[in-house]
């Protein structure tokens, strides 16, 4: 059933969702559909498909969203960034989403393309996410539910957490209706973030993004890029297991289950799992949480 995520919020206090990325090959895309099919049996409230930083996979985000909607009758959210796009291009993408009844968009500015050090908007494009939010609201009124990204530890290029909070507030005031966070491993960071946002008058849902750890070195690399802190506890558990994929996955499930239980206990309005296009460990975590 095609729904706006904000309509799902009216029915549910908490949502549980999965995130996928567009594979590079046709075989990869077919494998993804098998993954989505298996995870769809768990009954997620919605699933989302990321938008490539540039290059080959960008066009496939929409195709994958449409296919998931058609094959599995799931509510989908299309991620969309401003990277390299003029307003005309963004409008063409959003028009196609609207024509195909994709009603949810995670509006993002995106990162500079590979090789480029600094962010530079495309000619006639946008510099910040809040401008994309304005564009969506101005052109499509309330057709779309608009989600935005949140950074519990502050965005890596933002000078401090207070400024980051101020910018998030602007994104919300310009149409953002809920937030999905960057990964984090210390739930105290999430609680402090929530308190900071509430004190600033941000009252939308802040859904924690959860990464089940499956690879220690990959985690080091990713967190180095996105600026998320790897806690001492995470290093202590996963570093000694480096190279033993099975042991890492098992420990990753244990860690994520503990983290998710605690987050739900702290009142988190749901969980958004970064699946990395794998059925496990997301399914096992889901089952162990009794979702
Ligand atoms: C849940 C989630 C999903 C994501 N999915 C994708 C994806 O599919 N594809 C992809 O390429 N990337 C994705 N990203 C990464 C994201 O695109 C990058 O982190 C990007 O650097 C920031 O995007 P944003 O929308 O938060 O940008 P913005 O909110 O526009 O922020 C960008 C930078 O500008 C600063 N800023 C913001 N507002 C203002 C303002 N009003 N004045 C001055 N400075 C300002 C911020 O501090 C930040 O440094 C995702 C991130 C998350 C958390």
The one-character DSSP state at 56 is T
Query: Mean of the pLDDT values across residues 135-160?
Result: 97
The finding on whether 81 has its CB within 6 A of some atom of ligand 1 is yes
CB-based contacts of 22, cutoff 8 Å, min separation 6: 29, 32, 49, 50, 52, 57, 58, 60, 61, 64
The CA distance from 129 to 136, in Å, is 11
- Residues 60-73: what's their mean pLDDT? 97
Length of the chain, in residues? 291
Ligand 1 atom 16 nearest Cα: 110
Question: Among 51-65, 120-134, 194-208, which stretch is predicted with the lowest mean pLDDT?
Answer: 51-65
Q: What percent of the chain has pLDDT over 70?
A: 99
Q: Which of 156, 276, 150 is nearest to 224 (CA)?
A: 156
- Residue 155 beta carbon below 6 angstroms from any ligand 1 atom: yes
pLDDT at 196 over 70: yes
Identify the pLDDT of residue 122.
92
Residue 272 CA to residue 209 CA, distance in Å, equals: 5
149 CB within 6 A, ligand 1:
yes
Sheet holding 145-150, edge to edge: 205-207, 178-181, 145-150, 104-108, 76-81, 46-49, 15-20, 270-274, 209-210
Residue 91's pLDDT is what?
Answer: 98
Q: Is 270 helix (H, G, I), strand (E, B) or coil?
A: strand
* 287 and 255 Cβ atoms separated by less than 8 Å: no
Residue-level pLDDT at 167 = 98
For residue 55, what pLDDT is reported? Answer: 61
Q: Give the number of C-alpha atoms closer than 13 A to the C-alpha of residue 96, restricted to the C-beta side.
A: 14
Backbone angles phi, psi at 82, to 5 degrees: -90, 0
Q: Which of 20, 49, 106, 108 is the pocket-test mutation for ligand 1 (most atoms within 8 Å of CB)? A: 108
Please report where in the chains the tokens 């608009």 appear, as a residue.
146
Least confident of 56-65, 167-176, 203-212, 258-267: 56-65
How do residues 72-114 score in pLDDT, each as one tens digit? 999 999 999 999 999 999 999 999 999 999 999 999 999 887 7
What is residue 56's predicted lDDT score, i.e. its pLDDT? Answer: 66
- Give the Å distances, CA to CA, from 221 to 26, 42, 236: 27, 31, 17
Residue 54 has pLDDT above 90, yes or no: no
The residue ranges of DSSP E strands in 89-208, in sequence order, are: 104-108, 145-150, 178-181, 205-207
53 vs 116, higher pLDDT: 116
Residues known to be catalytic: 19
Q: Which residue has the least CA distance to atom 34 on ligand 1? A: 128
Domains plus CATH for the chain?
Answer: 5-289 (3.20.20.220)
What is the spatial distance between Cα 133 and Cα 145, in angstroms, rounded to a whole number? 10
Residue 109 Cβ < 6 Å to ligand 1: yes
Measured from the Cα of 156, ligand 1's closest atom is 49
């Amino acid at each position: 059933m095609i729904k706006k995520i904000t309509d799902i919020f009216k029915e549910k206090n908490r949502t549980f969702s999965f995130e996928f990325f567009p594979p590079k090959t046709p075989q990869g895309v077919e494998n993804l559909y098998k993954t989505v099919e298996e995870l769809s049996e768990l009954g997620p409230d919605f699933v989302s498909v990321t938008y490539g930083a540039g290059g080959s996979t960008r066009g496939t985000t929409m195709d994958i969203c449409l296919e998931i909607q058609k094959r599995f009758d799931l509510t989908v959210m299309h991620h969309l960034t401003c990277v390299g796009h003029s307003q005309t291009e963004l409008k063409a993408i959003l028009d196609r989403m609207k024509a195909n009844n994709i009603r949810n968009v995670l509006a993002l500015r995106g990162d500079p393309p590979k090789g480029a050090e600094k962010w530079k908007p495309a000619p006639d494009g946008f510099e910040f996410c809040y401008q994309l939010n304005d564009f969506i609201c101005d052109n499509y009124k309330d057709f779309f539910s608009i989600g935005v990204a949140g950074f519990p530890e502050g965005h890596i290029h933002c000078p401090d957490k207070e400024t980051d909070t101020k910018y998030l507030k602007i994104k919300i005031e310009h149409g953002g209706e809920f937030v999905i966070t960057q990964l984090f491993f210390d739930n105290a960071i999430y609680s402090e973030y929530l308190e900071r946002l509430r004190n600033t008058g941000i009252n939308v849902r802040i859904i924690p993004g959860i990464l089940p750890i499956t690879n220690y070195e990959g985690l080091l690399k990713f967190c180095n890029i996105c600026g998320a802190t790897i806690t001492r506890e995470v290093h202590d558990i996963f570093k000694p297991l480096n190279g033993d994929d099975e042991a890492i996955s098992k420990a990753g499930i244990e860690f994520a289950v503990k983290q998710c239980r605690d987050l739900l206990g702290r009142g988190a309005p749901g969980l958004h799992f970064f699946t990395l296009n794998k059925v496990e460990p997301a399914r096992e975590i889901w089952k162990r949480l009794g979702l």
